[in-house]
Structure 1
């Protein structure tokens, strides 16, 4: 008997769309001024976190007289109030493009500013979250992190220069790498991922898991930093295919309980992986094969544990009294009403074809496993 003909459809909009231009390689930030000019811009606003002001000043110098100024105010989880202030600041400075310098906080603030202003973004990532590859942004509104998507938030250009990440602390490197790995694992079961993007998730998982131990053994290795940025690039591309269970739980921890973004992903990833392996074994088997294991959830738990990141919710400040609220927020965060500022095109975490919808019982299973913190048992 012949197999059934292949058939698939994936959503339009921002799904599976990556930035139009990517410049990758050590030393590539030297061309930043040219990238501003390529966009037809002449007043770039450099956006970074308070802790990366020195680097922001350096890159503002690279841009020279085409730089309108520096906004060193980005923070994790992108509070909506900060995005609004940034928008007003960009307008007052007559900025005609945004340059995000740093990790997901800087990129996220640029996305929030760009949503309303329409200003193009040049992203210069120094961590491994991969968010610079997408037009999605999680913004915290009234204590809940909610996902939004817009073409305006997709970077026009991404410049990957591993030399900028050489000083990234080991713990931050590890958490950021687990964030990128989470993108790869979360997207694989989804029907929304393009057949062209899916291999990026699988290769991204291989690169990230193979490189992270080498990077932590020698943080000064430019080769390892460059490879991890490549893994981040692949993980970010994978994220354009969609997101569901992993991100629903991790964003709840970050937006509502103040857990740092990379740590939030790391602490629940082993337990989310265990659920996905049980309910969507075939696609997850491709990831397992790529990373060289026949026990993917246990492999991820070992990785998180061995790099020194937390594997229990107690380690990130949650206890039994938070259980009900954590489940409710994870399930309902994307079921929000219209907002006068964002007018979101809401991503549906329970989109048709998702084999593991974000439901109360599934999230409860993950929360309870993460509360116990035990290495997931291999399912046979």
Structure 2
């Protein structure tokens, strides 16, 4: 007989309002009004400041300013500066515009100030759907969880991702795919979340090659963004070894966030297939492939992504230390044993770019 339970609180919780479609970013002022806010602070990276400034102009006197300082991996020092700045300015709402760096900084500010967040993602990683945020403290990325960080509204406009370079798009899509793969076997995921993961994997594997062939195809971009939305919903179920390794690569060794996920995903999927064959079999069936790890590796090549950690500045001599940190920060949710030997094997395969299977 079927039995299950979910942990409640931040796990499996998704934002109460999602607005999806081309042109929706032109109506952010309506979403600020909907929340009853009057002093919105817009958050972005320096690279997305032009887009953020257009939203500032759209908000008019509803906006108190722009904080274009977000960087990847959310350093704790930046989080504290952002919290202090928002408090000094009297922000009663945050509008986070951009990829995971902007979304993450908005979350880190909300964690302290408990103000509502409107997330406007321009990439596919799905962080906007969760109450999780990785904050880097003393060189180690540590996961924080709180309903305070869960967005009140998410606005998905495919047009905002249309100009995203192909390599960045592909890495972000692989990050989203990692959420789908890594959640199907964790004990904290609900059956609904697993369904989102399976469908998200199917959509991403279909849309990414289309975007790679024609990066300005707005319909393909919209499908990939929809896959990112599903992957973000899936991420609320929790995560396991794949995210643990990727967070170490990004937070401690500076591997770009999307690539840190992409480069280890095929190898973690292959490792866990031995311990969770039924769960990963559902992903394989949805993708229309025989084996998940090898299929993901092939799609990475099709999209023009690097397939070796050696190609992104990671040193082979760091494998042992990275494995140790991964094991030390593991939370026990992975189906296969998380040992230094196992993680070293995964990192060694990723470093040399060996195709799983």
Q: TM-score range by the shorter chain?
A: over 0.9
Q: CA deviation at 1:43?
A: 0.6
Q: Secondary structure at the match of 1:52?
A: helix
Q: Which residue in 1 is equivalent to 2:71?
A: 75
Match of 1:358 in 2: 338
Contact 1:21 1:158 in 2 (8 A): yes
1:337 is matched with none
1:7 aligns with 2:10: no
1:304-351 alpha-carbon deviations (Å, 9 max, x no partner): 1221212212112222310111101111235xxxxxxxxxxxxxx314
Tell me the CA shift for residue 356 of structure 1. 2.3
Query: SS of 1:148's equivalent?
Result: strand
Gaps of 5+ in 2: none
Measured in 2, the distance between the counterparts of 1:136 and 1:231 equals: 19
CA distance in 2, matches of 1:191, 1:149: 17
Give 1:78 shift. 0.2
SS at structure 2 position matched to 1:293: coil
- Residue 357 of structure 1 deviates from its aligned partner by 4.3
Please state whether the residue corresponding to 1:123 is helix, strand or coil: strand
Q: Does 1:98 align with 2:94?
A: yes
Residue matched to 1:243: 239
How far the C-alpha of 1:360 sits from its partner, in A, is 2.1
Q: For the Cα contact (< 8 Å) 2:255–2:314, is it kept in 1? A: no
Q: Distance in 1 between matches of 2:89 and 2:282?
A: 49
Do residues 18 (structure 1) and 19 (structure 2) align? no
What TM-score do the two structures reach when normalised by structure 2?
A: 0.98
Deviation at 1:166, TM superposition (A): 1.1
State the shift of 1:257 in Å. 0.4
Q: State how far apart, in whole Å, the 1-side matches of 2:351 and 2:17 are.
A: 42
Quote the offset at 1:361 in angstroms: 2.8
1:248·1:358 contact (CA, 8 Å) conserved in 2?
no
Q: Give 1:362 shift.
A: 2.4
Structure 1 distance, partners of 2:312, 2:276, is 28
- 8 Å contact kept, 1:244–1:358: no
Give 1:233-312 correspondences, 5 Å limit.
Answer: 233-312=229-308
Give the whole-Å Cα distance in 1 for the aligned partners of 2:85 and 2:329: 29
Shift of 1:359: 2.9
Select which of 39, 47, 58 maps to 2:54.
58
Task: Determine if contact 1:144/1:333 at 8 Å carries over to the other structure.
Answer: no
Cα separation, 1, equivalents of 2:329 and 2:2 = 34
- Which of 177, 194, 197 does residue 198 from structure 1 map onto? 194
Residue in 2 aligned with 1:370?
350
Q: Deviations over 1:20-63 (max 9, x none)?
A: 11001101112100100111100100000001110000011111
Aligned pairs, number = 357
- Aligned counterparts of 2:10 and 2:217: Cα–Cα separation in 1: 35
Q: Secondary structure at the match of 1:366?
A: helix
Q: Residue 132 of structure 1 corresponds to which residue in structure 2?
A: 128
Distance in structure 2 (CA, Å) of the matches to 1:364 and 1:324 = 6
Q: Paired residue for 1:88? A: 84
| Cα distance in 2, alignment partners of residues 333 and 161 from structure 1 | 35
Structure 1 position 225, deviation (Å):
1.1
Offset, 1:265: 0.5
- Distance in 2 (CA, whole Å) between partners of 1:164 and 1:312 is 30
User: Is the counterpart of residue 115 in structure 1 residue 111 in structure 2?
Assistant: yes
Superposition RMSD in Å: 1.0
Partner of 2:94: helix, strand, or coil? strand
**Separation in 2 of the partners of 1:206 and 1:290?**
5
Deviations 1:102-139 (A, max 9, x none): 00000000011011111110000000000000000001
Cα distance in structure 1, aligned partners of 2:356 and 2:186: 22
Aligned to 1:328: 324
Give the secondary-structure state (helix, strand or coil) at the position aligned to 2:304.
Answer: coil
* CA displacement, residues 272-300 of structure 1 (integer Å, 9 cap, x when unaligned): 11011122111100000001011211101
What secondary structure sits across from 1:326 in the alignment? Answer: helix
How high is the TM-score relative to the length of structure 1? 0.92
Verify the 8 A CA contact 2:131 2:149 in the aligned structure 1: yes
Q: How far, CA to CA, are the matches of 2:34 and 2:338 in structure 1?
A: 42
**Shift, 1:373, TM fit:** 1.4
